[in-house]
A = this chain, B = another copy of it.
């Protein structure tokens, strides 16, 4: 079969590799019907994630059809149409028992396209298949469901639920890339009074409006803190969500939150940040971080099926699997191409 194989920083190829085989009895082999590229894949290609080594197949998101199952797989059958989640779960460790699958101590967590071969391939081996795949409900398309592999639960769990968004809240989202848009879409489910999107690119702010923000701030031109304080009688936002991953945006998020407010960090950070505890110690704030656990996936599947979530809105470009080079290029040049999520399907 063919797959996107990593060959060190800056190097990848859509090349012939051996078919995956069952290793553990809880594995399933899934034929990939649709997959996508994540911002994290670009980080890997820059060499930022050293755990990914030469020869690794990339990708941690897929929708597919079960081809083979191990003898220990109970709830997934050959022929099932399934979502392959970015997080796999042993189901028995301390963290899995508390639904913190992302922190799995039993061999799961985020391993696909990271510590084991991933989903940007014609077939993929999925460990702990019972706990790591989800039956696709009727009436939804592959590309809708594909958005539930990573981006939607990440924005919802790490942004909205960690941030404890409530009806009537003012929610500020710093960064209107795909993850920020996912947080905006998820926040809408809780009927906040205002969702404020903050970004440097007007095109992203325009997208934020489509996803549900009612106020947008270009913080290259406008003073985001001043706008948010003006809107909130000087107090600040109830919830500030960081969806970029650099020190400046994190600091901005901590400033935007009102006393007693929540700051939910989703961004993947490569450097330390400065936390102004000399101002914040007295403000009763809560800061959360997190890798997605995917405990919300069943809920998001129901909401997608019922059209409360319009997952397709993320999909800006379509390719076939053999167009991976082009797809990576379009996705990497998002500022020019307007790419949010690119979908690759079997031709």
Chain B residues closer than 8 Å to A265, beta-carbon distance? 277, 281
A72-B72 in contact (CB<8A):
yes
Residue from B188, B276, B288, B305 in contact with A272 in the complex, judged by beta carbons closer than 8 Å = B276
Interface residues of A in 241-295 (CB under 8 A from B): 245, 250, 259-260, 265, 267-278, 280-291, 293, 295
Chain A 51-85, CB-CB to B under 8 Å as 1, else 0, gives 00000000000000000000110110000000000
Residue from B276, B286, B289 in contact with A283 in the complex, judged by beta carbons closer than 8 Å = B289
The A contact surface, by secondary structure, is loop
Residue from B167, B285, B287 in contact with A299 in the complex, judged by beta carbons closer than 8 Å = B167
Residue A191, interface by CB 8 Å:
yes
- Which stretch, A31-39, A89-97, A172-180, A321-329, touches the partner chain B? A89-97
A74-B92 in contact (CB<8A):
yes
Residue from B75, B260, B282, B288 in contact with A285 in the complex, judged by beta carbons closer than 8 Å = B288
Residue from B90, B100, B306 in contact with A284 in the complex, judged by beta carbons closer than 8 Å = B100
B289-A285 in contact (CB<8A):
yes
Q: A71-B72, A289-B280, A306-B194 are in contact. Are A95 and B260 (CB under 8 A)?
A: yes
Q: A95-B260, A103-B284, A286-B287 are in contact. Are A167 and B308 (CB under 8 A)?
A: yes
Q: A72-B25, A103-B259 are in contact. Are A287 and B287 (CB under 8 A)?
A: yes
Chain B residues closer than 8 Å to A281, beta-carbon distance? 245, 265, 267-269, 289-291
Residue A14, interface by CB 8 Å:
no
B282-A291 in contact (CB<8A):
yes
Chain B residues closer than 8 Å to A290, beta-carbon distance? 281-284
Q: A72-B72, A103-B259 are in contact. Are A289 and B277 (CB under 8 A)?
A: yes
Q: How far is the CA of A177 from the CA of B188 in the complex (A)?
A: 28
Interface residues of A in 95-110 (CB under 8 A from B): 95, 97-100, 102-103, 106
Chain A residues close to B by CB (< 8 Å):
25-26, 71-72, 74-75, 90-92, 94-95, 97-100, 102-103, 106, 130-131, 166-168, 188-191, 193-194, 245, 250, 259-260, 265, 267-278, 280-291, 293, 295, 298-300, 302-303, 305-306, 308
Interchain Cβ contacts under 8 Å between A and B, 20 examples: A25-B71, A26-B72, A98-B260, A100-B259, A103-B260, A167-B308, A168-B302, A168-B308, A265-B277, A269-B281, A270-B278, A272-B275, A272-B277, A273-B274, A273-B277, A280-B289, A284-B289, A284-B291, A284-B293, A287-B288
